Amino acid sequence: MTERLRLMAVHAHPDDESSKGAASMAKYAAEGVDVLVVTCTGGERGDVLNPRLQGKPELLRDMVEYRRREMAEAARILGVRQTWLGFVDSGLPEGDPLPPLPPGCFALEPLDVPTEALVRVVRDFRPHVITTYDSSGGYPHPDHIRCHEISYAAFEAAADPARFPQAGAVWQASKLYYHATFSRNRIVAFHEAMLARGVESPFGEWIQRLEEGRVPGRADLEITTRVPCAEWFETRDHALLAHATQIDPDGFFFKVPMEMQQDVWPTEDYSLAVSHVETSLPEDDLFAGLRGQVAS
């Protein structure tokens, strides 16, 4: 017999899990994989981004509680477990020059503090695969960058008995992946498909900014792994809409018709960063090299 496969997805804020890798998680959960979302911060400094909910001061007064409820509903929809790492949202600094980050926020914690917290979760959950962001964070939010830093550090430290010995029995996760959701090729494919079918595309300006190098983050991450999960795209969208304070139901996430998404780009994409098992690239499964090999 083999034990149940386990997948851990590490994200910066509540709602990130529903915009990056959500359909794959729902697919794996439905197949019997044990899926855990780790949310590093509470999203305390998030604004109300849904125009339909703006102008309601009670949301801002109790943003933490609203976002916790939203996260619980999104996890229910996806069929996954979720835990909070317990750090405080750093906010997205804006302006020129950028203002300093607020004291006590996630991005200013000494690296070992959130790394140890994540190591505890890794050693307790014992994931075979971990997903997170690349070194750019996907875009330059300080919490996304710090999420990458602690995920990479914890992936290594959890297997080292000399690191954080008080944080539980050591565990070596087999594979570490970075999300490659918002690749240039994917955006261009949707843009061209919409124009070809006479549908207005929301991506023209985005593509122009990409071509001019004005899109922050990394749109050219090498894709090694494409997980077919088109039948779970609607589940993904329902989970995303559960984050009602953060997601505009009329926004660009929902502009591409569902049938077109499933036809033009039926996968969620990843870049394999580290593997301790033999695998052949390209892959179509985050557990490639592990199925049938995980001992009970």
Cβ pair 176, 155 in contact under 8 A: yes
Q: Does any domain span residue 205?
A: no
Annotated ligand binding at 16? The verdict is yes
Q: Does any domain span residue 290?
A: no
Cβ pair 16, 179 in contact under 8 A: no
The pLDDT of residue 70 is: 96
Cβ pair 151, 173 in contact under 8 A: no
Annotated ligand binding at 144? The verdict is yes
Q: Is 43 left (phi over 0), alpha (psi -120 to 50) or beta?
A: left
Q: Give the CA count within 13 Å in the CB-facing half-sphere of 254.
A: 13
Please report, for residues 73, 218, 236, the alpha-carbon distance to residue 240 in angstroms, rounded to integers and kept in the order given.
10, 22, 6
Looking at the structure of the chain, the number of domains it has is: 1
Of 53, 62, 40, nearest to 146 by C-alpha is: 40
Please report, for residues 220, 223, 270, 279, the alpha-carbon distance to residue 227 in angstroms, rounded to integers and kept in the order given.
18, 11, 8, 15
State pLDDT tens for residues 158-213. 999 999 999 999 999 999 999 998 888 999 999 999 999 998 999 988 888 877 76
Q: Does any domain span residue 158?
A: yes
The pLDDT of residue 146 is: 98
The pLDDT of residue 1 is: 41
Alpha-carbon span 240 to 223, nearest angstrom = 23
Q: Does any domain span residue 199?
A: no
Pairing of strands 129-132, 81-87: unpaired
The pLDDT of residue 218 is: 56
**Containing structural domain, residue 99:** 6-182+221-275
Give me 231's structure tokens.
């039948």
Q: Does any domain span residue 192?
A: no
Instruction: Spell out the alpha helix ranges (H) of the chain.
Output: 16-19, 22-30, 57-61, 63-78, 112-125, 142-157, 184-196, 204-211, 233-242, 258-264
Mean pLDDT score, 251-261: 92
Residue 2: band (very low, low, confident or very high) from pLDDT cuts 50, 70, 90: low
| Domain of residue 178, CATH code | 3.40.50.10320
Query: Phi and psi for 132 in degrees, rounded to 5?
Result: -165, -160
Q: Does any domain span residue 157?
A: yes
The pLDDT of residue 216 is: 57
Of 37, 40, 270, 38, nearest to 143 by C-alpha is: 40
Q: Does any domain span residue 43?
A: yes
Q: Does any domain span residue 74?
A: yes
